[in-house]
Amino acid sequence: MLDQFLAKIIAIHSPYRLDRLPQWVANKYWNPILEIDRWVFAKIEKADRQCLDEIQQKRLAKILWLAKNRTAYWKDKIAGDPHKYPVKILRAVPLFTKEILRSNNLNVFVNQEVAGWRKELISTSGTTTTPCFFYCDRLSFLRLEAEMKAIQGFKYNDNLARINLNFPPYRPLGKIFLFSLVTKLVENATNIELFLRENKPTHIFGQTTSILELASILDNRGVKYPFARVTVVGEHLNREDKKYLEKIFSCEVFNIYVSREAAGPIAYECQERDGWHINAISFVVEILDENNQAVPTEKEGNVVVTMLENEVMPFIRYKIGDRGYLVDKPCPCGRQSPRLFFKGRATQFFKLKNGNTHPLVSIVGLVRDFTPPVIQFQFEQQRIGEIIVRLATLENISEECITNILHAAKERFLDQLDVRIEINEKVPGKNILFINKLE
C-alpha cells in the first residue's frame, strides 16, 4: 500500500522535475528516471479505479491549466479553473482535429514557457504529400517509453528488436532493425538471419505489416525463431494473422494502440487479449457521437484523446480518426481501467455476389502479394460482391501492380467480386482493417 501511495505521488507530481533542469542532466540521467517511471506504471496500472481517477484528473487539470495559460490557441477555449472541475471543463472544450492543426501556424499551439530542448518536431507520416507537423515533448518520451517497457513485461536481460521503427531521443528501448519491405527479399532474409544470430532478441516490436513481412520471410526460409513476446502497433491485426505470427514466433502476440501524435501507448492488450486497457495515467479517452456528445459505454463512436504527457504542445480532445467503443466491466486480469474495442473486430468476412462469405484474410493475402511496401491498408464492403481496397504506401503504386491485383482477384473469386482500389496518403481509422457496411 505504501508502494502504491508513493507511486501515485510520483505519477501526479513527477518530483524529479527534469523540465527545470538543463538538458545535460536529462541526457545523463534518463536511464534511472526511466526505471522510476517504469516502477510507477507497474504499480499504478493495477490500482483501483478511485486511485486511477485521482491521478488522471490531477494530471488532466495540470495539462488544461498549462494549455489555457501558456498557449495562444487554447487560451480562450478552456473556460473556468481546471483545478476545480477538470473533467467538466474538458467536456466543454471544442474538439481538436488534423484540419485545425494543418490550418494554423504551429506556434499558436506551443507552450510558450517550455525549455526549447524539449521540443521535437514530428510529422504524421513520411509518406504523405501534405504532412501534418506537430511538436512532441522529448521529456514525455521517457515516461511513455517506461510504460512501453512495463507493458511488454521486460525483464533485466531481455533484448528488444524494434522492427522498422525509428525513435527520437530518449527512446532507449531496444535495437532498431530496419529492412525494406517486400523488395530485396533475398538480401533481407540474409540480413534478418544475421541480425537474429548476432543480437539474439527476446522481444520484437513493430508495425503490424512489418512484423507480418518478417514472419513470412522467415517462414519461406524455414527459419524458426522463438520470441518471448511479440508486440504489434499500427494497423489492427486480424485473428488469422495473429495465429500465423504465433505459429512462426512460438509466442503470444499483443497489440498496443499508439499513434504518432500520442507518441506512446494510449491503450494496450493485457494477457486476456480481450480489448485494449486504457492507459489512464497518460491519456483520457472519450467516445463521442457525430455531434461530439459522449455516447454510453458499449456504444460505438469517434475516439477522442487528451494527452497528458505532452507539455510542449498540448493535444486536448484530439479526434484521432479511429472508431470504437468502451467496455467498463471487470477484466479477469485485475486491471480496473476500461477497455477499448475497435469496430470491425469480430466480423472479418466479406460477401461475394453469389452470397458466399469469404474470410478477409484471403483478400489481404492477395493484395499483399502484389503491392510494393504497403504501410497501411484497409478494406471496406459497402455492397455485396464489391470490396474497396484502400492503400497508403511508401512508393507510388504502378498501373501494373493495380492490374495484377485486379487480375488475381478475378481469378481467385471467379468474377464474383468487384475490387475497387483507392490510393490515399493515409488510411482513415488506421486501426481498423475491415469496415463492414453490410451489417
User: Which residues sit at the interface with Zn ion, rule CB under 5 A?
Assistant: 270, 272, 331, 333, 335
Of 267 and 375, the one with the shorter C-beta distance to Zn ion is 267
Smallest separation, CB 269 to Zn ion (Å): 8
All 3 cell numbers of residue 351?
Answer: 460477401
| Alpha carbons within 13 A on the beta-carbon side of 237 | 30
Of 187 and 272, the one with the shorter C-beta distance to Zn ion is 272
Assign 301 to helix, strand or coil: strand
Smallest separation, CB 361 to Zn ion (Å): 26
Of 331 and 408, the one with the shorter C-beta distance to Zn ion is 331
Of 335 and 426, the one with the shorter C-beta distance to Zn ion is 335
Smallest separation, CB 200 to Zn ion (Å): 30
DSSP 8-state secondary structure symbol assigned to residue 396: P
The Cα 142–Cα 34 span in angstroms is 6
Smallest separation, CB 255 to Zn ion (Å): 13
Of 3 and 272, the one with the shorter C-beta distance to Zn ion is 272
The Cα 351–Cα 43 span in angstroms is 47
Q: What sections of 222-359 are H helices per DSSP?
A: 239-249
Smallest separation, CB 54 to Zn ion (Å): 21
**359 closest CA partner among 373, 374, 349:** 349
Smallest separation, CB 60 to Zn ion (Å): 23
All 3 cell numbers of residue 167?
Answer: 525513435
Of 82 and 338, the one with the shorter C-beta distance to Zn ion is 338
The Cα 378–Cα 367 span in angstroms is 10
Smallest separation, CB 277 to Zn ion (Å): 6
Smallest separation, CB 206 to Zn ion (Å): 23
Torsion, CA 42, CA 44, CA 45, CA 47, rounded to 10: 130
Of 149 and 339, the one with the shorter C-beta distance to Zn ion is 339
Beta bridge partners of 82: none
Of 333 and 402, the one with the shorter C-beta distance to Zn ion is 333
The Cα 22–Cα 178 span in angstroms is 33
Please check whether residue 314 is in contact with residue 74, taking contact to mean a CB–CB distance below 8 angstroms: yes
Position 181, amino acid: L
Q: What does each C-alpha distance from 185 to 178, 189, 213, 401, 430 come to in angstroms?
A: 13, 6, 10, 17, 26
The residue written with cell numbers 479477469 in the block is: 332
Of 138 and 339, the one with the shorter C-beta distance to Zn ion is 339
Smallest separation, CB 268 to Zn ion (Å): 9
DSSP letters, 56-108, are: HHHHHHHHHHHHHHH-TTTTTTS-S-TTT-HHHHHHTSPPB-HHHHHTS-GGG
